[in-house]
Amino acid sequence: AAVHQAHEAWRSWRSDPAARAAALLASADAVEAAGPELAPLLTREQGKPLTESYAEIARTAARLRWFAASAPEPRTIADDRAVHSEIRWRSLGPVAAIVPWNFPLQLASAKFAPALAAGNTVVLKPSPFTPLATRLLGSVLSAALPEGVLTVLTGREPLGALLASHPGIRHVTFTGSVPTGRAVAAGAASGLARITLELGGNDAAILLDDVDVERIADRLFWAAFRNCGQVCMAVKR
């Protein structure tokens, strides 16, 4: 039902770039206004300090504004008496966005903001460990976005893989672990949906002989322990 609703909403959402930009700007305003409600819930649910929750909300709003101004526009290749040639970008349709628990709002916006700006609609699946803040975000955004353009769908696995394999999904974007990424990729492959995977890593800090130890020490600390160390690109060795 969620994918069908997204497909129906896509029919009109894809056709008006100016309306999309205005809706994304209104969404950014709504997120900022809801900060006092969103931040305490995010802190209680995810565990980060309240100041970091407010910072995540600010980054979420900033992404919406950035992509509102960055929607793809036609690009002229040739324009003379003989020929007019241009590139036009076309939206794909419903996008499945599957996000982890460490930055549930920020990483969600990193997926749905560009997708919406490009004329797609989104079915957003948050982590089962942080569903409440994301559901509240969806409720906040529903006041600024047309019905069906962004749907928040919660549940445990294998919901992500099932969503990725839905024949109505045209692109899947996932951030999370390698094992879950494999399951999501297999689901997307069954429907020949395009897929973007952002998986875990083992990031190193490389210090050269001429490094200023006093200057770099504080940066190394935060590179390793920001968000309690729960960052995919955090320094681990």
State the DSSP code for 227. G
Domains and CATH numbers, the chain: 2-70+90-200 (3.40.605.10), 202-237 (no CATH)
CA dist., res. 204 & res. 145, Å (int): 41
State the DSSP code for 203. B
Residues with Cβ within 8 Å of 102's Cβ and at least 6 positions away in sequence, in order, are 46, 227, 230, 231, 232
Ramachandran angles phi, psi of 99, nearest 5°:
-125, 155
Pairing type for strands 121-125 and 150-152 reads parallel
CA dist., res. 131 & res. 152, Å (int): 9
Q: Indicate if 73 belongs to the active site.
A: no
Residue 18 CA, distance from chain mean position:
21
- Angle (nearest 5°) at CA 157 between 182 and 150: 95
CA dist., res. 116 & res. 85, Å (int): 26
Mean pLDDT of 134-141: 97
The DSSP code sequence of 201-215 is --B-----TT--HHH
Per-residue pLDDT of 104-115, as tens digits, reads: 999 999 999 999
- Angle (nearest 5°) at CA 66 between 61 and 68: 95
> What pLDDT is attached to residue 3?
95
- pTM > 0.85: yes or no: yes
- Where do we find the tokens 């160390």? 229
Confidence of residue 201 (pLDDT cuts 50, 70, 90): confident
Strand partners, 85: 78
The helix or strand, by DSSP H or E, that contains position 136, with its residue range, turns out to be helix 131-142
State the DSSP code for 229. G
Per-residue pLDDT of 80-131, as tens digits, reads: 778 888 888 889 999 999 999 999 999 999 999 999 999 999 999 999 999 9
Q: Indicate if 198 belongs to the active site.
A: yes
Mean pLDDT of 2-28: 95
CA dist., res. 107 & res. 101, Å (int): 9
Mean pLDDT of 142-162: 92
